[in-house]
Amino acid sequence: MTQAAPSPSAPDDVWTVAREAYLAGSTAAMVCRELALPPSTFWQRAAREGWLRRDHPRRADPLPPPAPVDLDQPVDDLWTALDKVWHRICAALDAGDAAGAARWTRVHAQLKATAVAEGRAEAADRRRAAHEQSLDALRSSQAVMRAAEAQLAAVRAARAAPDMEKVESVLPDSDSRPLNRAERRRLRKRGGP
């Protein structure tokens, strides 16, 4: 038997049970399934009431702000330069200097294009190096395979043509063709080997 889903104005005891189960560690999907709650309604109520899982505690201290950029320090890399130029754009806008902000924006665009081009070149270099490494691994595995095939061919050749001398048979008909079954029977009847 299926229960009808409670509406957002469902009795408070259903929402109390849902809240307690969720805060105790049950997943939202499991709570919704057990209590026949629509997931969207569950999430709306959880957001409105600020339900927070105990296994995901709220940060008491916010993340520290990034270190301030010293605009007088020398630039040691492209990303620092981009950050400094961005701060110059913001300072020019704060000062009401639209022309200065436009100049710094052009510099920022050029630096960003350079950074993107360098990133693409580095990615291409990494892909090329990985491709070369793959080719080297393929070549070495092919060399190992060729050596193994050569060894296998040598073993097969050794088995096909043994190095043993041919031994003379003590039987009188050893030079002739092998005997068939009837000939062997006749030879046995006569008392031969």
DSSP secondary structure string for all residues of 15-75: HHHHHHHHHHT--HHHHHHHHT--HHHHHHHHHHHT---TTSPPPSSPPPPPPPP-TTSPP
Token pair in block for residue 69: 């950029």
92-97 — which CB contacts under 8 Å span 24+ positions?
none
User: 18 or 171: whose pLDDT is higher?
Assistant: 18
90-120 pLDDT tens trace: 888 888 998 999 998 999 999 889 888 988 9
In the chain, what are the domain boundaries?
A: 1-58, 78-150
User: 4 or 111: whose pLDDT is higher?
Assistant: 111
